[in-house]
Amino acid sequence: MISLPLAAPSEPWTILVDILFFFLASAACAYYFYYYKRKDLLGKFWGSTFVAGIGALIVFATFQTYIRDIIMWLMSPKIGSTQLSNVNLVAIFLGGFIALYIMNRINHNKERRD
């Protein structure tokens, strides 16, 4: 059986896999805005895929390390080498928001009347 070590930096198809990930993520964003949210975008689906790809490249090139540091801190909060908690904050917030979303849908998405 042949194993393919994808995303290994020394392999020749790494760049192609990276391009495929960028394209699929951009297409998913374009699909969400164009078909699901039904927004009128310049160039329709393919134009919005292109714009989403450019935006993804810009954010990837400028903020990748900062975003990675923030996510890693949220998964294991610590100050210096002192571990603050053993709780994954990403999982906690995701679970909380999903539970509130389900409760809101059960309540028929009603607005507050203050």
pLDDT, averaged per 10 consecutive residues of the chain (114 residues), comes to 57 82 95 91 93 94 92 90 90 93 87 74
pTM exceeding 0.85: no
Nearest residue to 53 via CA among 26, 79, 13: 26
Distances (CA, A) of 74 to 8, 62, 83, 91: 26, 20, 12, 9
pLDDT at 3: 59
Task: Look up residue 107 and give its DSSP letter.
Answer: T
Instruction: Quote the pLDDT of residue 4.
Output: 52
Return left, alpha or beta for 23; rule: phi > 0 is left, psi -120 to 50 is alpha, else beta.
Answer: alpha
